[in-house]
Structures are given as C-alpha cells and as structure tokens.
Amino acid sequence: MAGDPASARLSTTLCGIPLKNPVLAASGTFAYGVEFEKILDLNRLGGFVVKGLSREPMDGNAPPRVWEATAGMMNSIGLQNIGVRAFVADKLPALAKLNTAVFANVFGYAIDDYAEVVRVLEDHAGLAGYELNVSCPNTKHGGIYFSNDPALLGDLVACVKRIAKRPVLVKLSPNVARIEPLALAAEAAGADAISLVNTFISLAIDVRMRRPRLGAGFGGLSGPAIKPIALRLVYEAARAVKIPVVGLGGIRSGEDAAEFLIAGASAVEVGTASFWDPASALRIAGELDEVLKNEKIGSVRDLVGTLKFGEKACN
C-alpha cells in the first residue's frame, strides 16, 4: 500500500526550491500541467515540468508519432508546442495559482532562441525554474548538438544564466560517449542542477512495409527498458559534479525512484509511466514513502548518494 506523497519523510529541496516530495512529472509527458487538474490534485505533486517551449509555435513531426516498444515507448513528437507567448497568456496564469513547483522546459535551435524564451518567461510569475532541453542541433553551428559539445553547451548555459533570475536545470542527453564532460561543462557555466537522461535515439521497422514505424524515421526510446543505463549515467554524473542531479529514465515505482536517489539523484522525474497512469507521479511518491518507512529512513535526503560498491551482501 502506498504511503503519503506529502509525508515529512519526503520533504526536500531542489536548488533552494521547497518540494513536498522529490518526485516530479517530466516534460513532454504532462502537457502544460493544467490538463491534468481533473485527474489528480496538482498541489500534492512534488512538482512538474511543462512540455518544451520554443520561441514560436511548432506543429511537430508527421504521424505516426508514437510506437510501443518492448518494455518501453518510442516517440517522435517533434517538440510540438504553442510557443512561449501563448503559454504565458493561456497556461501560466492558472499554473501561478498552484502550490507546487512548476518548471518550464525550454529549447531552441540557436542560443538566441533559448535566451528569448527565458526573457519572455522572466517577466511573468508562476514558475520555480527552468529546464533547458539541450538535445537539439544548433543550426548556426552546422547542426552540432548542444548536448554533444561541452564548449557549445557551456556557451548556452552561460547565456541563459545571465538572463535568468530563477534556477536553471540542464537536461542532458544519453546519446554521448561520456556524460561527465557535459555535466562538468554545465556546472562550470553556472547551471544550478542537471537532469538526465533524455531519450535514446532509436529505430523501429515495419518488416512488411520495410519502412520506419514512426513518421519521422528515428525516435526517442523511453520507459523501463532504459532504466539500467539511465541509472549508470546518473551515478557517473552525480560523482562528477557538486550541483544537484535530477534522475529520470524508466521510473514506474517507488523502488525505481529510490534506486535513482541511491545512485546520487536529489530528485527524480516520472515520464513514460504517466501515459498509462496519469497519476503515476503521486503513486510513486507514496510508494517511495513506504520504502523509507520500511527501511527506517527518516528523511529522503539521507538516501541520496548511498550506493556502495565492493561490499559483500549480508546473509
């Protein structure tokens, strides 16, 4: 039986932001938040990240956009969104009334794109912070991905930090050879925290048609299938930096969330699980409370970074 998502055991902070619990709903899986208010009490969440916001509205990719993979899901939504100005006019006023931490996910194809979105958001109340989606190619630098180039990533983060008065999280991609150089670049440029992982580039094929299952061809793999790799990357990133790490990738239970915290994450985000259980973030927070209770841990903060290697298991 799940515990209380508002239990005192779960209370924590992220970049100085108070959280009722360390379980947030992830960007791209929770719309703009307000769409879920008839399904669950948003004020009981640890927080949530709205879907990615761009400088101008975007229609996204051609369908089909989603494919159910073994133990996971592939998507190629194409970052469809209403644009930052429509967001602040039509969505943010309702979000500003909530008593929970709301983060805006921000993306672009040039540093100026990110900067403009943050400038617009800075003029409005209702947000706790920003999460930069850096898994986009920089069109002004020949299509180099921000997430793959430490120098380019550092330039982006430094630019946003000059504008933002709120905490800035940087969401790192797993599609790199080593995660540590990117995590360190984000930290050195002033990031307040990093979150990882974003989805893995993937391909599904229709054998009979001999065509990709998704309209855009490649997609992003998420869900339980990626959890072991995500855990390893979170552990490596958390060891490399001193700023907080937010872990995500295949979390569907309180024990999954606990694994990420033990690996070094200060908080977690729940994504794909929300597609089959829209209230999954609340359920998982309650289950995490039960884990803490059963393990006789008084505060979730005492679980963070407690992974042990090289010790024999108890009989």
User: 284 or 6, which is more confident?
Assistant: 284
**Can you list the alpha helix ranges (DSSP code H) found in 109-221?**
111-122, 150-163, 180-188
Arithmetic mean of pLDDT, 76-100: 96
Answer yes or no: 159 catalytic.
no
How high is the pLDDT of residue 311? Answer: 63
d(CA 223, CA 261): 18
Cα 142 to chain centroid distance, Å, stands at 27
* Catalytic residue (one of 15, 136, 159, 314): 136
pLDDT band per the 50, 70, 90 thresholds, residue 1 = low
Write the DSSP symbol of residue 314: P
d(CA 63, CA 77): 8
> pTM value?
0.95
Domains and CATH numbers, the chain: 8-61+78-201+221-303 (3.20.20.70)
d(CA 75, CA 59): 15
How high is the pLDDT of residue 315? Answer: 40
pLDDT tens, position by position, 184-236: 999 999 999 999 999 999 999 999 999 999 999 999 999 999 999 999 999 99
Query: Which of these ranges, 1-10, 110-119, 169-178, has the smallest mean pLDDT?
Result: 1-10
Using the predicted structure, report yes or no on whether residue 313 has a pLDDT greater than 50: no
Structure tokens at 210: 């001999």
Arithmetic mean of pLDDT, 232-248: 98
Look over the chain and give the mean of its residue pLDDT values, rounded to a whole number. Answer: 95
Residue 93 phi, psi dihedral angles, 5° rounding: -55, -40
